Amino acid sequence: MYAWLFRHLPGPLWIRIIQTLLLVALVVLILMNYVFPWASQYSPWTDSTVGAAALSPAVL
């Protein structure tokens, strides 16, 4: 898939490398800003119980 994408980018090698880096940066930006925050609400690892024991009166 990556070779197919790289072959179909226009321009000489150095321009294709720059375009590939920009595409990777765009994908990372989209994932970090939209996909991961949306998916984190469904993740069980985001529930925190650090302060829960200090708030309950019958810990002992």
pTM for this predicted structure: 0.62
pLDDT in tens, 28-40: 999 989 888 888 8
Yes or no: say if 20 and 26 are a contact pair by the CB < 8 Å rule.
no
pLDDT in tens, 15-26: 999 999 999 999
Task: List all residues 6 or more positions away from 15 whose beta carbon is below 8 Å from its beta carbon.
Answer: 9
Yes or no: say if 9 and 16 are a contact pair by the CB < 8 Å rule.
yes
Q: Which two tokens mark 6? A: 């790289």
